[in-house]
Structure 1
């Protein structure tokens, strides 16, 4: 498998807090954390679909890059409770 890009499926706006990868002034809660293959020829750009098949168009790309954290989970630890189980299963295989 090529490079993995972490993306956030966002929910309704919420009170402002610091979240990596989410633009300031546009604070949204993270509904699910998904993994997507990188776009061909652009390792930091997201492909059109997550590993579970969802469209990435309306998702926010995370600053977290799994390749920069060898031995760590593919997702940011603070979002472990909202990781997409289908994306996680594809990565584990």
Structure 2
């Protein structure tokens, strides 16, 4: 499988020109963690669809890069409870 990018599906996607509620440094917790193939010719950018078929437009890229953590799961361990089961199943193959 080619490289993947980890993205977060947030509870309330932020509009392009608005700030999320709360302090500017507040972290918005993901509702679901997805895996996305990289965009063609852009190994650092997410492609348009997750492995489960969702549009990535309103999703936020994670700082976590699976290629930098050999032997670890493809997702950040602290978000194991919100990993997309469909993306995870594809990653297990």
TM-score clears 0.5:
yes
Q: Which has the higher strand share?
A: 1
Aligned length: 86
Give yes or no for the alignment of 1:86 onto 2:93. Answer: no
Q: Which residue of 2 aligns with 1:40?
A: 40
Runs of 5+ in structure 1 lacking a partner? 17-23
* C-alpha distance after superposition, 1:28-76 (max 9, x if no partner): 2210000000001111100000000000000000000000000000000
Q: How does 1:1-93 map to 2 (within 5 A)?
A: 1-12=1-12, 24-25=24-25, 27-93=27-93
Q: CA deviation at 1:26?
A: 5.8
Is contact 1:52-1:87 (8 Å) kept?
yes
TM-score under structure 2 normalisation? 0.84
Q: Radius of gyration: which is bigger?
A: 2
Greater than 3 Å deviation, 4+ residue runs: 12-16, 24-27
When the two chains are superposed, the root-mean-square deviation of aligned CA atoms in Å is 1.7
Runs of 5+ in structure 2 lacking a partner? 13-19
